[in-house]
Amino acid sequence: MDNHKEYSIEWGGRTLTIGVNLLAQQANGSCTVRYGDTVVLCTATMGGIREGLDFFPLQVDYEERFYASGKIKGSRFIKREGRPTDEAILSGRLIDRAIRPMFDSRMRNEVAVVTTVLSHDFENDADILGLIGSSCALMISDIPWNGSIAAARIGKQDDQIVLNPTYQQVDQAGVEFIVAGANGKTIMLEAGMNQVSEDEAIKMVELAHQNLQPVVDLINQVTKNHGKTKLDVFSPKNEEERTAAAERETLHGQATEFLKGHVKDTLFAQPLKSKADRKAAVYKLKEELDAHLTSLQLGKDKRKIAAEIVEDFVEAEVTRLILDEKRRADGRGLDDIRELVSQVGLLPRTHGSGLFMRGNTQVLSLVTLGAPGMAQTVDTMEFNVVRRFFHHYNFPSYAVSETKGNRGPGRREIGHGALAEKALIPILPPKESFPYTIRVVSEVLGSNGSSSQGSATASSLALMDAGVPIIAPVAGIAMGVASDEQNDRWQIITDLQDLEDGAGGMDFKVSGTRTGITAIQMDTKTSGLPMQVVKDTFAKAKVARLKILDVVEACIAAPRAELSKWAPRIETMQINPEKIRDVIGPGGKMINEIIAQTGVEIDIEDDGSVFITSTSAEGMAKAKEMISNLTREVTVGEVFTGPVTRLMDFGAFVEILPGKEGLVHISEMAPYRVEKVGDIVKIGDVVKVKVYEIDSMGRVNLSIKRAAPDYQDRPSDRPSLRGGGPPRRGGDRGSGGRGGFGGGRNDSRPSSRPPAGGPKDTSNDPFAITL
């Protein structure tokens, strides 16, 4: 189109391009963002006011499209993209946490921000582009928003911190740090790290900010040229609305005056130790306000309007108390952690269990160990990912004294579970030393401040209780802040809880070991954190983390030496990769037969690694024996006992190993001449045989007579001087008369037929006993 425009900068070694006035023109604001060959479309749309809400109804979605990477969904029955994947939900939450603080909290208009991935190059993740594009779409729209912001991904390569690493660089270094902000202030952090120090984490944030401003400047340039005038959604539009607004303001003023005189006596006269105590105090304050307003002859509707400010007023008073008096509602010091409790081994049948409590936050984590084949295959837009560790987080309504029904995991549960999972991944043992699939489930039984960090800590306890040889235990803490941005006043608090997570605050979660940080997630209700606040938070979080680890290690110092008796055992075998087909068998016949007979689970990898998982030692031993027999190489001189499977004129076939047969030629059946094979053996007979030859084609030649314990080389077994040597098998078993032998019987050889005139005395003949 003629009015389509593109704006570009060089950023992190590639070109970042923002395009406007081309796609989705009916949205309030839209743009495309391209980096490499990854392209996203970002839109922002605003609807009407939703009456009766006490929150801002913002919906942020991240839409993956398989066509973007040239893929068709792997399911045989469903080819269309369905509900968002966990990865898409996590990307949407990441964008949400960055853009939400820049909206006026008074907004009640529905706003939808959608990122759709149109093209993906398998190198550059689309989530950063989605955040940048969402910022730009909001800026050029008429939706009220106090941007702009940008975001960058930081990683490492060859021990050097780098901007916008590729997927491969992230996987190799184990470091991925996403920073969002503008003008030196941090709006959002998200990180998964392989035990990185606080100093190095700070350097990553600083590098990100150095590279955010060019993107912010680009968005501002696009906005200057294409931005719409922002709508005024707060000012009254007519006389009726002006009258209602004036009345609301008056009622709020009356409520504020009353609360100022009563909040200290009700909320802060004595420390409110528990969440229930604080909820009861706030409820009492509301009752007192309602009684006061009733005495002023105000009706129910007006009293309801006046009571709208109670929650915000209480949060503001909590902030003022922290800033002015360095006090907290529960009486703790600013750096104090609530009472900590750690326990393990609570349940009899689970493979591992751990309970962690921090104040009223209580999390029970359970570990289940499974076979390698239990790993989860995830079909994503970018890659097919195999996950051998997964953490699932459950948050029932009773954890916060509510009565909502269970409708399955929501976006919050998926996000919190993923954060704890990210914290735990760096400390897990490698598959080579611990091939189990590991599932950890965290049940949040009570919540009042960072149940996700409680889940990471409880999961460490459960993993050690299960005997999983983790590198080190992980603990997590949530840090908060009380702020007065206008006067540049900031006060960091340790171990955030309910009333402290209000306007002007932050939720800064840090997980890690004694060595370093493994996961970070921060969102804020400010316009951005100064760099000094970020630095001080990292320092205080480390002190708190080490205190929690002291409690964890006092409960269980190291992983148990043995797995639970209820956990399966895994033994590993290494076979020749060319023998894999022998173990599997045609159509899986052999492997299914082994599983059916032994009750084990078997997983085979392309390099010949065979993992046998079983809760039964007997089943394990039998399965190993069957696999060994299927894959072992037969050597000359070995003796086997096996059933006769086929009879031919020239001999009998005997199964010496599962699926492996050899031929006993008629001349090798007895130390005397045998006229018919059927005179010696029948199908199904179990005979003892010895391998005396493996020919150039790999065919195994067996002998019954040579398997006798006192067998000696006899003249009848030696090549005849006139007969040209012992019989030789022809090129095809069953061809050439008597098995394709060349030449006839050597008449000069002594006959081994029993003498005429009666049976031969076999009392000293071992073959008579065997056969």
pLDDT for 315-369, tens place per residue?
888 899 899 989 888 888 999 999 999 999 999 999 999 999 999 999 999 999 9
Q: Are 137 and 44 spatial neighbours (Cβ–Cβ below 8 Å)?
A: yes
Segment 733-751, tens digit of pLDDT = 333 333 333 333 333 333 3
* 323 class by beta-carbon count within 10 Å (0-12 exposed, 13-18 middle, 19+ buried): middle
Residue 449 has a pLDDT of 83
HEC sequence for 647-692: EECCEEEEEEECCEEEEEEHHHCCCCCCCCHHHCCCCCCEEEEEEE
The single residue listed with the structure tokens 């006035």 is 21
User: Which residues sit opposite 610 in a β-bridge?
Assistant: 573, 604
pLDDT exceeds 50 at position 494: yes
How many Å apart are CA 614 and CA 571, to the nearest integer?
Answer: 9
For 506-575, the DSSP string reads EEEEEEE-SS-EEEEEEEESSS-B-HHHHHHHHHHHHHHHHHHHHHHHHH-SS--SS--TTS-EEEEEE-
Q: Are 5 and 22 spatial neighbours (Cβ–Cβ below 8 Å)?
A: no
- Inter-helix orientation angle 411-424/86-99, to 10°: 100
Mean pLDDT computed over 564-570: 94
How many Å apart are CA 314 and CA 360, to the nearest integer?
Answer: 20
- Provide the pLDDT confidence category of residue 624 given band limits of 50, 70 and 90: very high
Q: DSSP label at 336?
A: P
Q: How many CB atoms lie within 10 A of CB 549?
A: 19
Q: Are 380 and 122 spatial neighbours (Cβ–Cβ below 8 Å)?
A: no
Which residue did the predictor score with more confidence, 203 or 758? 203
Sequence-distant (≥ 6) Cβ neighbours of residue 474 within 8 angstroms: 423, 424, 427, 456, 457, 459, 460, 511, 512, 513, 518
**3-class secondary-structure state, position 274:** coil
Residue 221 has a pLDDT of 97
Residue 769 has a pLDDT of 33
Which residue did the predictor score with more confidence, 116 or 634? 116
State phi, psi for 71 to the nearest 5 degrees.
-115, 155
Length of the chain in residues, anyone? 771
Question: Which residue type, as a one-letter code, is found at position 701?
Answer: N
State phi, psi for 46 to the nearest 5 degrees.
-120, 135
Mean pLDDT computed over 424-445: 96
User: Which residues sit opposite 387 in a β-bridge?
Assistant: 376
- Provide the pLDDT confidence category of residue 1 given band limits of 50, 70 and 90: low
Q: Is the dihedral angle over the CA atoms 244, 245, 249, 252 positive or is it negative?
A: positive
Segment 660-698, tens digit of pLDDT = 899 999 999 998 999 999 999 999 999 999 999 998 888
- Provide the pLDDT confidence category of residue 488 given band limits of 50, 70 and 90: very high
Across 129-275, the runs of DSSP E, i.e. the strands, are: 150-157, 160-163, 176-182, 185-196
Residue 737 has a pLDDT of 37
Residue 738 has a pLDDT of 33
Helix then strand then coil, % of the chain, to nearest 5:
35, 25, 35
Residue 719 has a pLDDT of 38
From its phi and psi, is residue 669 left (phi > 0), alpha (psi between -120 and 50) or beta?
alpha
Q: Are 372 and 613 spatial neighbours (Cβ–Cβ below 8 Å)?
A: yes
Name the token pair of 712: 């000696």
How many Å apart are CA 577 and CA 197, to the nearest integer?
Answer: 43
For residue 722, CA distances in Å to 197, 315, 489, 666, 718 come to 87, 112, 113, 21, 12
pTM (two decimals): 0.84
User: Which residues sit opposite 160 in a β-bridge?
Assistant: 157
How many Å apart are CA 132 and CA 31, to the nearest integer?
Answer: 10
- Inter-helix orientation angle 617-631/589-598, to 10°: 150
